[in-house]
Structure formats: structure tokens, C-alpha cells
Amino acid sequence: MKCIVCKNGDTEPGNVTVSVDKHDTVVVIRDVPAQVCATCGEEYIDAQTMKQIEKLVESAQKAGMNFAVQHYHAA
């Protein structure tokens, strides 16, 4: 797909690191599948992947974690 940020680059499949800071919990999730612009590096994560990220954050919050580093695993 064409990047909507730089309008020049095309996206390619890749893996990115996502950081979520929600209330008193920070979760860093590595190896998240995304489409990444080859020109500017903008990252696009699909809805299904975002739902999985939300579950990981909620799980960390329920466990009482203030900080967690996790690897993404598809549901």
C-alpha cells in the first residue's frame, strides 16, 4: 500500500516494537507484525494485531506489573 504519511513510499511487511503507556503500566512488545513504509518508516498495524496488543497490556495490568517487555505471539 502507499504510505499516507509521506505519500511517496510503499509499505513492506516487517516487525516493529510497540510501546504502550496506559495508566501506571508500561508494556513494550517486540516483533509485532506491521506494514512499514520503505521511505519514511511509518508503521501500520492491522486491527487484529492491535486487539492482541490490547490483550497483552490488559494482562500486564491485571498482574499488577508496572513495566513489562513481551514478544508478540499471534492468538
Say what the pTM is. 0.87
Number of domains in the chain: 1
**Is 2 part of a structural domain of the chain?**
no
What pairs with residue 54 in β-bridges? none
Q: What digits encode the pLDDT tens for the residues 32-70?
A: 999 999 999 999 999 999 999 999 999 999 999 999 999
Signed CA dihedral, 30, 35, 41, 42: sign only:
negative
Full domain range(s) for residue 32: 11-71
pLDDT band at 75 (very low <50, low <70, confident <90, very high): low
Cβ partners under 8 Å of residue 49, min gap 6: 32, 33, 34, 72, 74
**Is 62 part of a structural domain of the chain?**
yes
What CATH code is carried by the domain that includes residue 65?
3.10.20
**Is 61 part of a structural domain of the chain?**
yes
